[in-house]
């Protein structure tokens, strides 16, 4: 997709040679000057930490004594392979990722479809679904942690009223992962719904009219017109939520305030494990290695995602 329309080169103006060369130089250089602030900040707070983290990950460094660095080569990485806490957190990241991303996108799609109808108070509703996104992770998670309380939580109170015995939302593996996912779903569904809504509005009305003429029901219209039209949007949201799920950190940290992700690491994600290694145990080298593994993991996952999407769209085009 190109953002700028092709511009015809302006005809040479009758000005002096010297002036025009200065101008030409400025015209060439100015775009770089305009984007320089971003790249300066990006270099300082994006690229440098990235490279420095890679450097640190090759050493044994403790936060208490950052001056004593002991060369370990790839030792921090190979140690991860045999580290069951690492695999556990990777597994948790995946299951919590699925538990949060799938319902989130499915509900968002449904919501967007409903919001696309002509109805009273449409603008109000569209704004309202975005509200959870505007709350901070910390605030939302702390409130949910209260709701999910084992002894005095509202959710267990309601479940108890219909005869379902108290669920231990903190210590039970599945229940705790559902609790964490719920916070994610609640915060991000509205955001995705609005993105889908924007995508839906770019689908030409004629397609719906033609489908209606052919006698397609609302459901069939949704499946055969809306969904194919939304494909690029869906790919975008899947990629963005996958990245978000891989980095999941604030919600599991604040559910109980435990850096271990619960007493038996039952909802410890990769991000949380990195934090535990770095700021719980002060092993900066190992934490840096985990950070890099996460980075590579995201690159691979997003790459695979993009590849599948491209395959499919090519197939589509070939049809």
**107/82 Cα distance (integer angstroms):** 38
168 binding another protein? (CB under 8 A): yes
DSSP string, 280-309: IS-BHHHHHHHHHHHHHHHHHHHHHHHHHH
Planar angle of CA 249, 178, 82, nearest 5 degrees: 55
Spell out, one character per residue from 220 to 259, where the chain touches another protein: x when CB under 8 A holds, - when not.
------------------------------------xx-x
Q: Which of residues 73-92 bind another protein (CB under 8 A)?
A: 83-85
- Position 286 contacts another protein (CB under 8 A): yes
Q: How far is the CB of 5 from another protein (least distance, A)?
A: 40
Query: Could you say whether residue 264 binds another protein (CB under 8 A)?
Result: yes
Residue 63 binds another protein, judged by CB under 8 A: yes
With binding defined as CB under 8 A, does residue 38 bind another protein?
no
Contacts of 110 (CB under 8 A, 6+ apart): none
Using CB atoms within 10 Å of the CB of residue 62, give its burial: 0 to 12 exposed, 13 to 18 middle, 19+ buried: middle
- Residue 280 found at the interface with another protein (CB under 8 A): yes
Q: Provide the minimum distance between the beta carbon of 222 and another protein in the complex, in angstroms, as a whole number.
A: 43
Q: Name which position in 116, 172, 203, 236 contacts another protein (CB under 8 A).
A: 172
Binding residue count for another protein, defined by CB under 8 A: 41
Output the CA–CA distances (angstroms, integers) from residue 210 to 68, 118, 197, 207, 213, in the order listed: 72, 19, 21, 5, 5
User: To 10 degrees, the CA torsion angle through 165, 167, 172, 175?
Assistant: 120
Among 38, 42, 157, 279, binds another protein (CB under 8 A): 279
**296: number of Cβ within 10 Å:** 10
Q: Which helix H or strand E contains 66, and what residues bound it? A: strand 65-71
Please identify, using beta-carbon distances, which residue of 157 and 279 lies nearer to another protein: 279
**Residue 69 CB, nearest approach to another protein (Å):** 7
CA distance 102 to 122: 26
Which stretches of the chain bind another protein, using CB under 8 A?
48-49, 52-53, 55-56, 63-67, 69, 83-85, 145-146, 149-152, 168, 170-172, 256-257, 259-260, 263-264, 277-284, 286, 288
């Amino acid at each position: 997709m190109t953002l700028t329309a092709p511009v015809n080169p302006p005809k040479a103006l009758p000005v002096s040679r010297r002036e025009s060369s200065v101008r030409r130089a400025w015209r060439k250089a100015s775009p770089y000057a305009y984007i320089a602030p971003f790249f300066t900040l990006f270099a300082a707070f994006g690229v440098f930490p990235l490279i420095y983290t890679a450097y640190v990950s090759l050493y044994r460094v403790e936060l208490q004594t950052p001056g004593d660095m002991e060369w370990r080569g790839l030792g921090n990485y190979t140690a991860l392979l045999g580290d069951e806490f690492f695999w556990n957190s990777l597994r948790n990241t995946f299951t919590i990722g699925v538990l949060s991303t799938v319902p989130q996108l499915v509900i968002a799609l449904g919501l967007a479809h409903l919001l696309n109808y002509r109805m009273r108070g449409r603008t109000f509703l569209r704004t309202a679904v975005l509200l959870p996104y505007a709350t901070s992770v910390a605030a939302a998670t702390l409130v949910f942690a209260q709701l999910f309380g084992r002894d005095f939580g509202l959710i267990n109170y309601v479940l108890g009223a219909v005869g379902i015995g108290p669920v231990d939302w903190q210590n039970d593996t599945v229940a705790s992962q559902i609790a964490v996912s719920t916070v994610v779903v609640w915060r991000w569904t509205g955001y995705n719904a609005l993105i889908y809504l924007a995508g839906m509005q770019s689908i030409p009305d004629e397609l719906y009219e033609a489908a209606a003429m052919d006698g397609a029901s609302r459901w069939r219209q949704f499946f055969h017109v809306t969904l194919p039209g939304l494909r690029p949007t869906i790919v975008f949201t899947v990629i963005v939520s996958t990245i978000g799920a891989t980095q999941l950190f604030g919600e599991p940290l604040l559910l109980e305030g435990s850096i271990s992700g619960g007493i038996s690491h039952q909802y410890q994600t990769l991000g949380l494990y990195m934090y535990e290694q770095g700021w719980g145990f002060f092993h900066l080298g190992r934490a840096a290695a985990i950070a890099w593994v996460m980075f590579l993991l995201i690159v691979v996952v997003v790459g695979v995602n993009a590849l599948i999407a491209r395959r499919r769209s090519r197939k589509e085009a070939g049809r």
